[in-house]
Each structure stands twice: as structure tokens, then as C-alpha cells.
Amino acid sequence: MKKISDDIANALDKCAEALSINELSRVTGVRIELLRRFITKKTRHVRGETWDKIYPVLRPYLIGPEAEREKPPIRIGRAYRRHPDLVEMFSDQKILLDAFDVLPETEKSALADRVAAESGAEPTAFAVLSPLENRVMGCFLKLDAEGRKKLMGEVLEAATAEVRKRRAQLF
């Protein structure tokens, strides 16, 4: 059973106006009397089989032209990268990479230089990562749990500030 909401009833009404209730009945195979009950909201539930007949015809009226014209939100930073090397990483590593990616290039290189000097670790050799990301990841993996937590906090704080700054510039 599917509940007939006000949106569905309005969409049925618009569809009936566009096609006529007789045509809507003919296309869907649902009785005219039942369609009138749905439109006037005398019946608030529709059986699954009936909904499966009505929905394909009703769908364009449910979505509406306003929803189709809306632009997706502006993305800050790159989209999620899919690669087998990245899938094998721990969630902290993935979060570090996403936050590091948001930073401007000057901050990225300064952070990578500083962390590499402090830890003296060798860069990782992930083909999917940039040289700077490999340097930071090598340092991250060499750190103990407390050091990783500290580095994550520092990178997340800088990334959050950067995203807030970029959002303020957008609006």
C-alpha cells in the first residue's frame, strides 16, 4: 500500500488536466472512478499493483520543471577518487587525503615539508597519489597513534578554515 500524499494528489490532478481523466484511465488501466477518488483525496492509500500502473505516467508531474532546472551544489575540492590502492587504506588515511586535498598548494607544500622534516619518513609509493600526498602519507604512517591524531587534527582544522573561506567567497 502506498499513501497518497498531497503532492501525489496534485500531480494526479495536473496529469488528469493535461491528458483528461479518460485518457489517464486508458493509459494506466486504472478505473476512472478510482482515479477520481485519488484526486479528490477520498482514498488515501493505493495498492502496489495500481501504483505500479500509475507511477510511470505520473512521474513527470511529480518531479516538475523547477526541480529539473536546479543546479547541483558547488563542489569545493575534488570528487571522491576510486582506486584499488585507496580502497585498501584505513579511514583515517582517506580523511587525511580528502582534507589535505582542500588546502591551497602553498599550504600543502609547507605542511609536507614540515612534517617530513619532523618525522624523517620516506614517502609512500602509491601511484594514485601526488608526490606531496605520498610524502604526507609516508609521514602519517610512521607516526604513533598520538602523532597521527595530532597531524589529523592540524590538517582538518586548516581544511575546515579553507572551506569556510571558500564558501564565504561564493556567497
Structure confidence by residue, pLDDT tens digits, 15-24: 888 888 888 8
2-69 under CATH 1.10.260, yes or no: yes
Could you tell me the sign of the dihedral formed by the alpha carbons of 155, 156, 157, 163, in that order?
positive
Q: How confident is the model at residue 69 (pLDDT cuts 50, 70, 90)?
A: low
Sort residue 41 into left (φ over 0), alpha (ψ -120 to 50) or beta: left
> At residue 67, does pLDDT exceed 50?
no
* Cβ(146)–Cβ(91) below 8 Å: no
Spell out the residues 6+ positions from residue 62 whose beta carbon is closer than 8 angstroms to its own. 7, 8, 11
Domain ranges of the chain: 2-69, 84-170
pLDDT one-digit tens code per residue, 131-154: 999 999 999 999 999 999 999 999
pLDDT one-digit tens code per residue, 46-55: 888 888 888 8
pTM of the full predicted structure?
0.57
Q: What whole-number distance in Å separates Cα of residue 165 and Cα of residue 7? A: 39
Mean pLDDT of 23-38: 87
- Write down the pLDDT at residue 70: 62
